[in-house]
Structures are given as C-alpha cells and as structure tokens.
Amino acid sequence: MLSIGIGELQRNSSIFNNLSEEIQIVDKRRKKIVAMVYPVKEHSVVDKLAGKYRGKVANKGLSLEQIKEEAMMKAMREKYGLSS
C-alpha cells in the first residue's frame, strides 16, 4: 500500500490514471488518514467492503437503469400512494 500526502496529490493528480494498488491519502500536518483509494480495474472492492454481510444481500442481476427505475417507482408509491 502506498501512502501519499494531500499536497502531492494536488500537484500530481495523474496518479489515479495508472493506479495498480491501494493508496492511502494522509494529512501530514495532523498525521491522520484522510482517504483510501482502491483501483477499480484490478479487483472489486465490494467484497472487501461488504465484510460479514456479503452473503446476506441477494444479487438480482439488474442493470443500473432498472435499479433506478425500481427505486423511483417505490418512492413514488410511498409518496403519492400509487398502485402498481
């Protein structure tokens, strides 16, 4: 895992273009970790972030547009009392 300061990141934002491993963004004055950046193309971070709950959520295999449509319809039903 690489560690990089905020100032370095502001000067050279092209670091994200060729990201191959996790980067820890650190505020060097306060000595705190500000963010963790994971590469998307190498591996999925969903399993890492899901932790012990990864087996509890069923994957429906829907596209993002279908999920948005389903969420919008559910919100409209709750707000306006519409039937399906």
- 1-55 pLDDT per residue, tens: 788 888 888 888 888 877 788 889 999 888 899 999 888 765 566 667 777 777 7
Predicted local confidence at residue 19, as pLDDT: 79
d(CA 54, CA 28): 34
Residue 61 gets the label, from left (phi > 0), alpha (psi -120 to 50) or beta, of left
pTM for the full predicted model: 0.44
Domain extent listing, the chain:
2-51+58-80
d(CA 67, CA 51): 23
Sheet holding 32-37, edge to edge: 2-5, 23-27, 32-37
Neighbour count for residue 5 (Cβ, 10 Å):
14
Predicted local confidence at residue 34, as pLDDT: 92
The 10s digit of each residue's pLDDT in 40-55 is 765 566 667 777 777 7
